[in-house]
Amino acid sequence: MAKEKGQRLIANNKKAYHDYFIEEKIEAGIELVGTEVKSCRMGKCSIKEAFIRVERGEMFVYGMHISPYEKGNIFNRDPLRVRKLLLHKSEIRKLEGQVAQKGYTLVPLTVHFSNSRIKVDIGLAKGKKLFDKRQSIAKKDMRREAEREFKQTGIRV
């Protein structure tokens, strides 16, 4: 009987939350080769500069960096190669229609293990303006200050 392992985070895209309003999240599989999976198990993955495009009815992630596996020698692939995302056609068509609207884009938010399979959380995002970024930073600062004050007085939120 298989033991449930849950989810383990491999990579997180904090920059996406800073630069975009995330409207919707979808979990997708990703097509990888063996040495890339081994490298991901070691945590050698980055999605900071990654973005997603829909081409010919398929979704691809660009700019996702998976470092070459140390013991992979000739089986290692290009670390920045384009990788295919695995979704149902209806989901791809729905996202493609939403991205066609002005201002929307698809960004990878996290890469994680879900029961020994590597998954990517995709966010349907709308770009923030400079004043929106300033507002979100101000809100975070106010929340931190309030938590600091509560911590000093001994009251927990």
Give the pair of three-digit tokens for residue 67: 């470092």
Tell me the C-alpha to C-alpha distance, in Å, between residue 5 and each of 30, 33, 106, 129.
19, 22, 28, 40
SS (H, E, C) 99-111: HCCCCEEEEEEEE
Give the pair of three-digit tokens for residue 7: 């989810």
Look-up of token digits 């992630």: 61
pTM value is: 0.71
Provide the pLDDT confidence category of residue 1 given band limits of 50, 70 and 90. very low
Structure-model confidence comparison of residues 6 and 24, the more confident one: 24
Look-up of token digits 């056609």: 89
Percentage of residues in the chain having pLDDT higher than 70: 90
Cβ 125 vs Cβ 106: under 8 Å: yes
Residue 156 has pLDDT above 70, yes or no: no
**Quick check: helix, strand or coil at residue 14?**
helix
The whole-chain average pLDDT of the chain stands at 82
Q: Rounded to whole angstroms, how far apart are CA atoms 103 and 15?
A: 17
Q: Which residues have a Cβ under 8 Å from the Cβ of 84 and sit 6 or more positions away?
A: 30, 31, 58, 59, 60
Structure-model confidence comparison of residues 3 and 40, the more confident one: 40
| pLDDT (tens digit per residue) in 94-118 | 888 888 887 788 889 988 888 888 8
Give the pair of three-digit tokens for residue 36: 């890339």
| pLDDT (tens digit per residue) in 106-151 | 889 988 888 888 889 998 888 777 777 788 888 888 888 888 888 7
